Amino acid sequence: MIRERKVWGERWILRRTTSTEASILFVLAGRRCSWHRHTHKCNLFTILSGRIGIKTGDGEAILRAGEEFTVEPGVWHEFRAYEPSTMVEVMYVEYDAEDIERQNEGGRFQPEEARDDVAALSDERVPDNGRDAEKAAPVVREAKGTAGYSPFHAAEKPTSPGGVRK
C-alpha cells in the first residue's frame, strides 16, 4: 500500500495496474482537491462516511455514505468535504470496442500450400441454413496447434441480456 499526503487529506493506494487504480481517500472537512480532468481515466467515487460534494461543469452532487458518482474522461471536476469524509476512488480506463486501428481489411487469402485446417473452413463445408448439417460436421473440430479454436464468427455467438458476449 502506498500512502500519500495531500492538501485535502490522505490517499491510500490499495492497488495500481496499467488500467486501474483503487484508493481510499480521507478528506478533511473544508478541504477540496484541484479543479482537474483526466484524458482517458474514469473516476468512480463511493462514499464510505461523511458528506462529499463532487462538482462538475453541470453543478454539484452532494453524496453521503453508500452513494456513488462517476466522472467520465474529459470532464472537469473536483471533490470537497463538508465534514470529515472517507471514500473509495476507483480510476479506470473505459473499454472502447471501437479502439482499433486497421491497416487493411480481413477476408480470404490464398495460402501457398493448402492445409487441412484451412480447407475445413471453406464455404463448401459450411451448412446452408442447417439443411446440410451432416456435410458440415468436419468444420467443428479443433485446428492443429490452436488452443481454444472456434470455427464460428464472434457475431454468431449467443449474447446475454444487454449484449454481453458469453
Over residues 144-157, the pLDDT tens digits come to 444 444 444 444 44
pLDDT, one tens digit per residue, over 34-93 is 999 998 899 999 999 999 999 999 999 999 999 999 999 999 999 999 999 999 999 998
Query: Looking at the predicted structure, is the pLDDT value of residue 13 above 60?
Result: yes
Residues 70 and 86: their CA atoms lie apart, in Å, by 16
pLDDT at 22: 97
**Distance from chain centroid for Cα 30:** 34
Please return the burial class of 81, using the count of CB atoms within 10 Å of its CB with bins 0-12, 13-18 and 19+.
buried
| Run of H or E residues at 119 | helix 116-119
The larger pLDDT score, comparing residue 159 to residue 10, is at: 10
Q: Which residues contact 49 (CB under 8 A, 6 or more apart)?
A: 65, 84, 85, 86
In the chain the domains, ranked by start, together with CATH numbers, are 2-93 (2.60.120.10), 117-145 (no CATH)
- Sheet containing strand 59-64, edge to edge, reads 59-64, 51-56, 77-81
Residues 61 and 45: their CA atoms lie apart, in Å, by 12
C-alpha Rg value of the chain to the nearest Å: 26
| Run of H or E residues at 48 | strand 41-49
CB atoms inside a 10 Å sphere around CB 23: 19
Cβ atoms of 79 and 46 closer than 8 Å: no
Query: Looking at the predicted structure, is the pLDDT value of residue 159 above 90?
Result: no
Residues 24 and 9: their CA atoms lie apart, in Å, by 11
Average pLDDT estimate for 95-107: 76
Find, among 42, 6, 46, 43, the residue nearest to 27 by Cα: 6
Residues 89 and 42: their CA atoms lie apart, in Å, by 10
